[in-house]
Each structure stands twice: as C-alpha cells, then as structure tokens.
Amino acid sequence: MKSFFKTFLAALLALVAGSGCIMIFFFVGVAGLIGSLSSLGDSNAVPVNIEQHTVLKIDVAQLHDVVSVNPFDSFSSSTATQPVSLSQAIRAIADAKNNPNIEALYLNVEGVEAGMASVDELRLALQDFKASHKPIIAYGDSYSQKAYYLASVANQIYLNPLGSIELIGIASGEMMYKDALDKVGIKMEVFKVGTFKSAVEPYILNKISDANKLQKQEYIDGLWSSILQGVSTERKINADSLNAEVNKGLAFVNSDKYVQTKLVDKLLYRDQIDSVFAAQLKVKKSELKMVNLSALAAQQTDDIEVKDGVVQVIYAEGEITQASISPFAAGASTIGAGLGDKLREAAEDDDVKAVVLRMNSPGGDAFLSEQLWHAVKQLRSKKPVVVSMGDYAASGGYYISSAANRIVAQPNTLTGSIGIFGLFPNFSELVQKVGVNVEVVKTNDFADLTISMPYKPLTNEQRALIQRHVERGYDIFLSRVAEGRHMTKAQVDSVGQGRVWLGRKAQTLGLVDKLGGLDVAIKEAASLAKLSDYSVDYGVTRVNVWEELFKSTSPSNEFIARLRSAFLTDEERKAIRIMQGVTRYSGIQARLPYDFEPY
C-alpha cells in the first residue's frame, strides 16, 4: 500500500508538472501569436516610398475618432481595407497636399457610414487639398447621398453607366411601442423635464408630439439644406432646381440624366479611370503610382516633440454609463469614469499646456455626467480646455462640455438637448395576468420603492417624490450650463427644455463659441495657452482588437465577450448594442433616445 501511494503521488506530481509546462507553452504561444497579430495590424512596419506621379486613393467607408483594427483582416485583405481614424485621414490628406510627388487624389467613396459633421470635416480637408490646384477625381459604381455630398468637391465626377446617385432627401422615423406594451400589460413610468425631451415618447404616446415633430423637422431641414447648398456650390447647379429634380425621383432615373443635370461629368467603367488620371497628369498609365490612405496614414509618427508645450486631445465617444460594458462586447465605445482619470492625468502633466476634449456622445447617465463635468472644471482651473464636438454632443454630452473654456462644433453637429428624464418599467398588469403577487414587509414608507415599483402601481406620493428628484436634476443641469456659458438659468432654460439644435444655430444661441472641426479646436486651445510653437498629442486613435483583448484584467465572462465580438460582423454588433441599450435604458438619464444615430 505504501508503494502504491508513492507511485500514485509521483504520477500525480508528474501530471501537475506536465500540465504546468503545457500551460506555460500555451501562454508563451499566445503571447507570440498576439505579437505577430499586432505587427500584422501595424502598417508602420512597411515604409511607403512616395514616387513621382503618385495618386492618393481615398476609399474610407466609415469615419470614427477611434477605430478598431483586426489583424486577421490582413490575411485576406491588403492595407487598403485597414480602417483609419478621422484625425488620421485629415492629417494624411494634409501631408498629401504638401508632398510634391502626390499629384492627384482619387476619391473612391460610394457609401459613407458617418454623421454629417464627420463628413463635413473630411470634406473641408478635401477642399483644402483642392486649393493646392492638385486635381481630385471621384468615381463610383453608385453614390449614396452622403457619399455624393462628399464627392461633390471633386474637380471631376465619374459614374458607372449603370450607376445611380441616391439623392432622395432626409426622413426621420420613430417606432412607437405604447400599444404593444399595453397589450402585454407593461407601463413605462415616465418622469421628465423639458417639452422637447422626446426620448420617452415611444413608450407613452402613439405618435410623436408636435414639439418633437417641430425639432425633427428643423433638424432634417438644416441637414438637407447643407447638402443642397454644398452640391450647388461645387457643381454650379441651382439649389432649387436640384431640389425639384430630387422630388421627381432623381435617384431612380437613367444614368444619362446625371450627366444632363451636371451631377457627373461622364459615365465610365472602373477600369477606365487610370486613363483619366494619366490624361490629367499628362503621363503614361504605366508611370502612375497609387498609394492608399491607410498606408499613408500609417506613416504618421506618434513621437511627441514638446517644444513650448503639448496640446493633448482626449476622446470621449459613446454613451455615458456607469455600467461595466466592454466596447468589444457591444460593438460601440462608451464613456465611463475612466474619462475622469484621463482628465486628471492631463491636469498633472506639466508638458500638457492645453487640452482638447473631443466629444461624440448622445449623453447617458445623469450622475456620471455631473462627475465628469466636475473633472473638466477641475482641469480648467489648471489649464485651458476646449471641447471639439463631433457628430453629436447632446444632453449629458453637452452637460460635460459646458465646463470647458470654449466649445467648437461643426455646423451640422447635433447638440443641446438640455434636459433629463426618468424611465421605469411597471409590470403590475402583467404579473396580475399571470397570477404573481408581490408582498413586502417594510420599516419606512418608501423602503419598498425599488422592490415594489416594477410590480405595483406607483402612488401619487411616490410619483411626486420621483418627479421632484428629476426636477432637481434639471435645475442643477441649468446651473452648470449657466455657469460655464456665462448665461442666466432663465436664458439656458429658454434654449433648453430638451430641445436639440444644429451647431450653426447653437452658436447664435450662445451654446457654442465657434464653428469648425478638431483642427480649429486645437488652434483655439493653443491660443488660450499662449503657445506659438507646440506639438499635438492625438492620443491612440487606432486600437488593436487583440492587444485590447489580452491585456484586459476584466472577469472571464467579459474576456469571452471580447473574444466573441472579435468575430462578429458590424451588423451583429449593432444588433447587440441595441438590445443592451433596451435593458440599460432606465433610471435618471440625460440623453437622446438609445437607438438614435446622427444623420
């Protein structure tokens, strides 16, 4: 028996040791794999030699401040498919403008998934390139509406003979859930301040309110006017005439009609576009060189030369939430308490003389919005802070922004929405239908509020209590904006009430200081810091999915969610994001509707 135990223990020890070696080899292998994948996703490893007669090809499909790079794409795609951030794209176009060997720009953008403000920012960069008298030539098999708006800056626009231009106007729809909820016995208890705070309407109304209809109409009218005027100016087409053609079904006509209306210069097949560039640059086709935007952007260095000081860009993108949500699990970025840590780090960094907070958010958790407002205010007490608004900076996003020294927005940025609401589901009718009853023993009058609220009708006293809480939150919101914008609370309330504004109108109302993109905000920050010779720290705008996955210290379930999401399509991630939004969309909120996406 004694020899048996010795043999058993020796075998067990060998098994444990062997398993340990296997695990060591496994993790070493994984580390090596991640290193290899990281290098695959990093185009900096391949320097680009820009020769004479080079054409810069722009084929971006999405525009985001921070992009995720999946190195596995490198196995099946070239560098052209690697995403670039908006700031990278703009800097690469500026580099191309100043590079004498880059003699033209090929705009191959048929569909753009981005908000109008981001499209405007890229469009301005293209117009700046065009001012150097280097030609921009656009080609598309078809053009979406925003893609054509972007392409309209080109000197020449070509279209496939069977192509189309989807100029149809803009519409905004709303799915109303009240009747469906009534049928299953669910009532949404709503508490809000703001005539225009429309995020709760789908749960309590069968159609959108007149106030909401008004602000929606102004929003889409403003965007459509920008598209019409932009195309009209660049293509020298009367805006009213173009609008009339759109109302006749311009998106569905024979492609010859686009030539007749001067929307395109000529109908061509894609394999003929090289001849166009060769003729434009007066060279042989064999002498033409092509460099992709992603390859050129990858040459940008992250090295920061301090000089007189650094202007640091900090990104705040997505829903404002206290929940521990991985952006890889949901397919979208979120703004959490970590933003406050970044702001405090910038405050303590002596090399950083000014900060630009790039805000791209529909709002979210009201409590966290207040904490981040405080962090911006503390930073402002030490160095200048300028907010650069992207596609939207509304409700909680504006709450945080109001603490900055200056606010810069694009004309088509969606902002404002100064208001808050509370949304709580009540299942009392449903549980009664299925025979469930909730019994509570309590010590005080409101001790059972969180327990019974979902399952029993609220009393008038309980409703009044919650409404006062929401009204107090709105009053604080008004006070924060009034303090930051040097307005009275009454003045803020007159442009508040949950109403959204486009950036151009927001400037006239005193909610925005200046119109422009990130570059304008950076110059404004440098000016406030009295910097003449400065560097810009753009931060991390390309995130390697696999590096983020394995450096995570999150629980195993989040690790699994990250791993799973790495293999999801964009459509699948979007569906998950919407479902998660529905489950989180309760409590006191300062935000736009959870499924809202800026046009």
Look up 187 and say whether it is catalytic: no
Among the listed residues 388, 395, 417, 565, the single catalytic one is: 395
Burial 199-228 (b: 16+ CB within 10 A, else e): bbbbbbeeebeebbeebbeebeebbbebbb
- How far apart CA 595 and CA 346 sit, in angstroms, is 33
Q: Distance of alpha carbon 160 from its chain centroid, rounded?
A: 31
Write down the H helix ranges in 167-321.
178-184, 201-204, 210-235, 239-247, 256-260, 273-281, 293-297
User: Which listed residue (134, 146, 187, 197) is catalytic?
Assistant: 197
Residue 60 in 3-state DSSP?
coil
Residue 523 gets the label, from left (phi > 0), alpha (psi -120 to 50) or beta, of: alpha
Residue in 402, 388, 447 with CA at minimum distance from that of residue 87: 388
Catalytic, 369? Answer no
- Please check whether residue 175 is in contact with residue 145, taking contact to mean a CB–CB distance below 8 angstroms: no
Q: At residue 558, what is the residue type?
A: E
What gap in Å lies between CA 198 and CA 175, rounded to an integer? 12
- Cα(322)–Cα(31) distance, rounded to whole angstroms? 31
Do the beta carbons of residue 568 and residue 579 sit within 8 Å? no
443: CB partners within 8 A, 6+ apart: none
Identify the residue whose tokens are 């003389």: 353
Rounded-to-integer distance, Cα 282 and Cα 377, Å: 57
69 bridge partner residues: 544
Query: Would you call 485 exposed, middle or buried from its count of C-beta atoms within 10 A (0-12, 13-18, 19+)?
Result: buried
Please report, to the nearest 10 degrees, the dihedral formed by the alpha carbons of residues 439, 445, 449, 452 taken in order: 20
| Interatomic CA distance for residues 266 and 435, integer angstroms | 70
Sequence letter at residue 185: G
- What is the 3-state secondary structure of 133-202? CCCEEEEECCECHHHHHHHCCCCEEEECCCCCECCCCCCCCCCCCHHHHHHHCCEEEEEEECCCCHHHHH
Report the catalytic residues: 197, 395
